[in-house]
A and B are shown apart, each in its own frame.
Chain A
Amino acid sequence: MAGSARYTAILDANVLYPATLRDLLLSLARDGLYHARWTERIEASLTGLPDAEALDLAGAIEKLQMPLVAARLREVAELI
């Protein structure tokens, strides 16, 4: 986020897919180590996976939105 002193990191589908890693990375963001962001495209690539429904990836991403901690961007360009 512009004007913020904290690091911002983009979480891509590779780290959002495994539940354990997702939990860990979001916990670190909660503890203030960095701002977590992902894009609509990353989200679409997750929810488009063959096992997306079985793993309820859409439901998981819905829960990821945490004000000040984690948020979805329309595109990476929003950060620049």
Chain B
Amino acid sequence: MPRPAETADNAMDTVLDEHDAALAQAAQRCLMAALDHSRAATVRLVADGQDMPSVELPPKALRLVADMLGMMAQRQPVVLLPQKMELSTQDAAAFLNVSRPFVVKQIDEGRLPCRKVGRHRRILFDDLLAYQQALHEQTEAALQALADQAQALGLDR
């Protein structure tokens, strides 16, 4: 899944202007419609009247492209990271929007898995996403508990 970009280093500029965003949105809708109808899909690119051969893409790839177009249509910066990519603690901190010492503490306390390369810690992007998801669920549960408590006390008005 493409995600909104959290780090700016060595990322390419993916933010579209209004006109291009509309094009991206239209393209995304066409792709999604095509994916609904058929299992495999063919993409035809037309370049200035020249007839180009049709390109055949696996549905999985098309879905990814459609997702990316959807994000770009919202004019968000997008960066694509391989799930097996390893991040430094600094990268992980930037992704979670927290300080590096916080990330190190999470690793040291066993909440975030990492691999040691010499003296450096490397975090699998997959693991980072799982960690973020777990925290998100904890937060949702805490908010729900707060709301339940307020309701039980009749304070929710």
Chain A: residues with CB nearer than 8 A to chain B?
Answer: 1-6, 18-20, 22-23, 26-27, 30, 32, 54-56, 59-60, 63-69
Contacts and interface: CB of A to CB of B under 8 A. Distances in A.
Interface in B99-157: 99-102, 135, 138-140, 142-143, 145-147, 149-150, 153, 155-157
Interface residues of B, number: 24
Contact of B99 (A3, A56, A59): A3
24 contacts: A1-B98, A3-B93, A4-B97, A4-B98, A6-B97, A19-B149, A19-B153, A19-B155, A19-B156, A20-B155, A20-B157, A22-B146, A23-B143, A23-B146, A23-B147, A32-B97, A54-B153, A55-B155, A63-B145, A63-B149, A64-B146, A66-B135, A68-B135, A68-B139
A25 to B, nearest CB: 11
A26 B149 CA distance: 15
Q: Which 10 residue pairs are nearest across A and B when measured between Cβ atoms?
A: A19-B150, A19-B155, A3-B99, A66-B139, A63-B145, A1-B99, A63-B146, A2-B99, A6-B97, A66-B142
